[in-house]
Amino acid sequence: MGNDISAHGRAAALLDGHPDYRVLRALPPPEAYPVAKPQGQVRTAAVIDVETIGLDADHPIIDLAIQRIAFDARGMIVQVGQPRQWFEDPGMPIPAEITRLTGITDADVVGKRIDTDEAVSLIASTTVAIAHNAAFDAVRVERRLPAIAGHAWACSCNEVPWPELGFDGRKLGHLLMQQGLFHHGHRAAADVWATINLLGRVLSDGETALARLIRQAEQPSVRIEATNAPFEAKDALKARGYRWHADQRTWWTEIATAAETVELGWLRDTCSCAQPRLTPVTWAQRHRG
């Protein structure tokens, strides 16, 4: 076996050195992760992923994974905790398309329950929860674990400037492949470990993605709702990145607090919206829809 591994390594190195080939390597196991020596303040994060029986916010969780990490003032990962993963019986059959995507069957979850106390403790004892697409995970985790409502969340998908850092796209597997790595996705524990590896790598600007993420997520922002904007303004609002909230029947966006004055001027001059609704947002309220 050792000779086979060595032969495979030599073959991979040979291909890696040729411009017409790209080699993808499997993620290392947690016990082999190269943690850094801490410098400055050390904080903790709970990296989280869920699988559910569908995309609606009220669809129940069938797979929850949490893994704690510690990171220092540079955004370097200095400790990796043991992964924890639970199946949960949704009380109804898992749709066939979800089984095809995740591999999770009714037999995997029947009679299973998330350990609520342990899951709450793992999250609540950290500085921040991190997910790759936190807008999906945060609302579902808080619905299942209401004791952690109001905890800070950060999104490794949307709060890291991946295009600015030379990446194409934001999907987890695609980002990993651009770093020469791969994982077996669409299971909660595998996606958590992939997110940790993605965040911990030093990028082209000399920082980790985790450093970028924490710096961005900690910044206050403001949610602006273009209340009473005329119908004719919808195209301008959409082009500027506003989203339509069907329940509240209003266009809205979230921007950095520092950009508020400029945005209000644009709304007034372009959309005849002089009195938008403003709501301050921190990472304890963000990603809740």
pLDDT of residue 148: 98
Torsion, CA 4, CA 8, CA 14, CA 20, rounded to 10: 150
pLDDT of residue 132: 98
C-alpha–C-alpha distance, residues 220 and 174, integer Å: 29
Residues 24-34, mean pLDDT to the nearest whole number: 92
Q: How confident is the model at residue 8 (pLDDT cuts 50, 70, 90)?
A: confident
Q: What is the DSSP string of 37-75?
A: PP-S--EEEEEEEEEESSSSTTSPEEEEEEEEEEE-TTS
Is residue 221 classed as helix, strand or coil in its secondary structure? strand
pLDDT digits (tens, 9 = 90+) for 166-205: 999 999 999 999 999 999 878 999 999 999 999 999 998 9
Question: Is the pLDDT confidence value at 261 over 50?
Answer: yes
Bridge partners (DSSP) listed for residue 154: 130
Mean pLDDT, all residues of the chain: 95
pLDDT of residue 167: 95
Percent of all residues in the chain with a pLDDT value above 90, rounded to a whole number: 87
Tokens standing for residue 46: 């709970």
Question: Is the pLDDT confidence value at 2 over 60?
Answer: no
Alpha helices, H only, 148-223: 172-177, 188-200, 209-218
pLDDT digits (tens, 9 = 90+) for 142-161: 999 999 999 999 999 999 99
Specify the fold of 2-218: Nucleotidyltransferase; domain 5 (3.30.420)
Residues 266-275, mean pLDDT to the nearest whole number: 96
Residues 124-136, mean pLDDT to the nearest whole number: 98
Question: Is the pLDDT confidence value at 5 over 80?
Answer: no
The dihedral sign for the CA sequence 147, 150, 152, 154 = positive
Q: How confident is the model at residue 1 (pLDDT cuts 50, 70, 90)?
A: very low
pLDDT of residue 288: 87
pLDDT of residue 186: 81
pLDDT digits (tens, 9 = 90+) for 96-112: 999 999 999 999 999 99
The amino acid occupying position 31 is E
Q: How confident is the model at residue 12 (pLDDT cuts 50, 70, 90)?
A: confident
What are the helix and strand counts (H, E) for the chain?
10, 12
C-alpha–C-alpha distance, residues 198 and 40, integer Å: 22
Residues 212-225, mean pLDDT to the nearest whole number: 97
Question: Is the pLDDT confidence value at 49 over 60?
Answer: yes
Write the burial class of residue 88 (CB in 10 Å: 0-12 exposed, 13-18 middle, 19+ buried). Answer: buried
Q: How confident is the model at residue 4 (pLDDT cuts 50, 70, 90)?
A: low
pLDDT digits (tens, 9 = 90+) for 74-93: 999 999 999 999 999 999 99
pLDDT of residue 221: 97
